[in-house]
Chains A and B, each alone.
Chain A
Amino acid sequence: MTRQAGQATIELVVGATLLAALALGGVDVLRVLRAHDAAERAAGRAAVLVAERRPIPDSLRRGVQLRVHGGAVRAAVRTCVLTAQIGCFDVGAVVHVP
């Protein structure tokens, strides 16, 4: 194996590893973004129902923790990530309903 070929192989392996790590991290980031999206949507929909003085249906609470207190609608969605060893945590959103 020539010196140049060895160099290229090492760079390829490092690049591939980096890409794999980035892909995994990307999936986790997307997962958190998805949880945030879900929390925002749930909080928004619940806020509309609260403002309309209508009850919040159970279907809206599926997979989302919803709390209505003091003019604020808080939604939290539990999500888990693979990388960074953060584990599982709540991603939340809040909408104020005066």
Chain B
Amino acid sequence: MSERGQVAPVAVAALVLLAMGIVLLGHLAAIRSGGARGQAAADVAALTAARAAADDPDAPASELRAAANAAAESNGDTLRAFRIESRGPGLPVAIDVTVAATTRGDVPGLGQRADVTVARARAGIAYSAQLPDGTFRPVDLSGATGAAAAIRAAEAQIGWPYVWGGESRAEGGFDCSGLVDFALSAAGFHPPGRPTAADLWRLATPEPASALAPGDLVFMGSASGAPFHVGMYVGEGTVIAAPHTGAVVRYEPLEAGGWDGFGRILPAAGAERPTGPVDRAARRHQVPVNVLEAVLELVPGREPDRTAAAIGSGQRRHPGDLAAALADALGDSSLAALVLRRASGPALGDGFRGDVKLLRLDPGPAPATAAVAVPLLREPAGQGPSGIRAAGAAGAAIDEGDRLLERLSGSDAGRSPLGGFAAVRHLSRLGLNALTLLPNRTLGAIGSVAGTAWDAVAVAVDLAAGGYREGFAFSGFGLWAARLTLAGSLLAAAGGLFTAITARSRRDRIVGGLQLAGGGLQAAGLATAGTDLIVLGAAGMEVPPVGVALILAGTAITAGVAAYQAWPTLRRIGSRAKSWLSDRGSAAWHGARSLVGSLPSPW
């Protein structure tokens, strides 16, 4: 066969390999793009579900999952796992989702592929509640009517600071008659204007103390026909009243107040209800019973008396600010807002809101149902030719590395901050490169083998340091060092191509081809960092796990080729070293023997 005939097949093979490499790189770029898209889809899915929970904390989990699923699907991806983090029933505080993005493609030698990139995101929900200014607290009547509704409305104001009168509701009037006026209005009875205690006395039907029923009114100064103080009887010898300036709306014992007149405006029927431990705890610690009920519903297992004591202390520390008092008592402003929402009912309106925010992912494990550890999906290969076996095997090897790295990267978040360390390391590597340029073949061989071994160890060290998790991050001088490495890899690949084309023996062609493959894989691995690698002014770059796998594969090939090429030289060096050691060892042995022999014997 002539030399001319040998060149053309090698050139064609090199071009075919190059084309396959470009297609493979294109597919890898598409996977990377799919990963970015999947991350955006995961972020949006988590935030969408969190928004649904923020708007309605009582929404069922299936509804929230459907919201996340719709968001993921609208971006062409699939929801793989979904988890609601709650601090109690009806208290969702974060949504954790895992989304899978599939990249499909036909890669020569690997066939039809469907590579899945998994992304995870977590969105937090923070609730806040603002009670309306200039009016009494809204209250959820829970279906109560008549006197029962009036009592519930009055009890919700416990702790509200007394503000004297005024002629109208708009002016405030958070005094004794204002409180009763509000309670009656909540029950559907609207006294004309803004009634005073005397007005309420005239509206009421007088009755004896012995006939008092919950919801009835109690008066002071009724003997004059124009009482100056009014309260509402709530049963079991207890009255609610707004007593005087400097005090707050509170429960008082009926017999301790000096009440001398009693009257009824609302029918008493239905207002009488058994007083339970929650009511007693609320009265003992002067806290709104509807708020205490809401806390106990949202955080099951809490003891009513201790909870009421904590809320009461919070109210004393934050007079007139129930939201702050609850946040103080519960140690959680979001929970406080949810309690106020539950206690206030729909009347709170826009006073309640939930804000959502993307959170950093926990370093802990992904959701139990997450598909982070699921291997890459593989669609059935087509029936056509499977391509070059070697390319397929190499692709499978890369694929395995990629899969392993994907699995590892899903378990934890972290980066390998190379930076300055990389710079020093690459400079040292340049020194070894310089050795290979020396005319001395022995030194060149040593430099070549040491350099490739250096690369292999460096990659292994980086992997051990955590680079396998999210790839490598380069910045500063390390970025320039990586650029130099890219240039070196491209030169090595070009040299390999040149050698393969111009080689006169089969051995040299194989060596050249392997050099081309090794350098090309290293360059391709670095190229997965994107254009930050070559664009001046870029602050840094990141080599994803797939890039690390490519660099590793290229380094392994290059190391093998270097060792193969340098083997005769290395063997010669080894032989000389062995003989040198043998000579020196023999001399040392004889020296030692003579030294021992010259020592006086102890025996």
Contacts and interface: CB of A to CB of B under 8 A. Distances in A.
Interface of A: 4, 7-8, 11-12, 15, 19, 22, 27, 30-31, 33-34, 36-37, 40-41, 43-44, 47-48, 51-53, 71, 93, 95-98
A40 B33 contact: yes
Contacts of B358: 48, 52
A48 to B, nearest CB: 5
Contacts of A11: 7, 11, 501
B71 interface: yes
A39 to B, nearest CB: 10
B3 A4 contact: yes
18 contacts: A8-B502, A11-B11, A19-B494, A30-B530, A31-B531, A33-B29, A34-B531, A34-B532, A37-B36, A40-B37, A44-B36, A47-B44, A48-B358, A53-B51, A71-B74, A96-B71, A97-B71, A98-B67
B43 A44 contact: yes
Given A52-B356, A98-B67, A98-B70, A36 B33 contact: yes
Interface string B22-62: 00000001000100110111011001100100000000000
B527 interface: yes
Contact of B4 (A7, A44, A98): A7
Interface string B353-370: 001111000000000000
Contacts of A95: 37, 40-41, 44, 75
A36 B44 CA distance: 19
Contacts of B170: none
Interface residues of B, number: 37
Contacts of B71: 96-98
Nearest to A19: B494
B559 interface: no
Contacts of B223: none
Contacts of B3: 4
Given A51-B48, A95-B75, A27 B534 contact: yes
A40 B527 contact: no
A71 to B, nearest CB: 8
B527 A30 contact: yes
B33 A47 contact: no
Contacts of B534: 27, 30
B535 interface: yes
Q: Which of A4, A31, A43, A47 has the most CB of B within 10 A?
A: A47
Contacts of A98: 44, 48, 67, 70-71, 74
Interface in B467-519: 494, 497-498, 501-502
Given A7-B4, A96-B74, A48 B497 contact: no
A98 B527 CA distance: 35
A4 B3 CA distance: 8
Contacts of B356: 51-53
Nearest to B37: A40
B87 to A, nearest CB: 21
Contacts of B70: 98
Contact of A52 (B41, B357, B530): B357
A46 to B, nearest CB: 10
Nearest to A18: B15
A15 to B, nearest CB: 7
A24 B358 CA distance: 40
Given A11-B7, A37-B530, A47-B40, 15 more contacts: A7-B7, A8-B502, A19-B494, A37-B36, A40-B37, A44-B36, A47-B43, A51-B47, A51-B51, A52-B358, A53-B51, A95-B44, A96-B71, A96-B75, A98-B48
Contacts of A7: 4, 7
A98 B70 CA distance: 8
Closest 3 CB pairs of A and B: A44-B40, A51-B47, A34-B531
Contacts of A37: 33, 36, 530-531
Contacts of B51: 51, 53
Contacts of B48: 51, 97-98
A37 B39 CA distance: 13
Interface in B59-86: 67, 70-71, 74-75
A96 B44 CA distance: 8
A51 B33 contact: no
Given A30-B534, A96-B75, A4 B33 contact: no
A37 B501 CA distance: 37
Contacts of B494: 19
A55 B29 CA distance: 31
A51 B43 contact: yes
B557 to A, nearest CB: 21
B266 to A, nearest CB: 44
A30 B39 CA distance: 22
Interface string B302-319: 000000000000000000
Contact of B44 (A8, A27, A40, A48): A48
Nearest to A27: B534
Contacts of A12: 498
Contacts of B44: 47-48, 51, 95-98
B124 to A, nearest CB: 10
Q: Which of A4, A27, A40, A96 has the most CB of B within 10 A?
A: A96
A43 B18 CA distance: 33
Nearest to A23: B490
Q: Which of A8, A33, A41, A43 has the most CB of B within 10 A?
A: A33
Contacts of B7: 7-8, 11
Interface in B90-135: none
A19 to B, nearest CB: 7
B521 to A, nearest CB: 16
Contacts of A22: 18
Contacts of A27: 534
B173 to A, nearest CB: 38
A22 B355 CA distance: 51
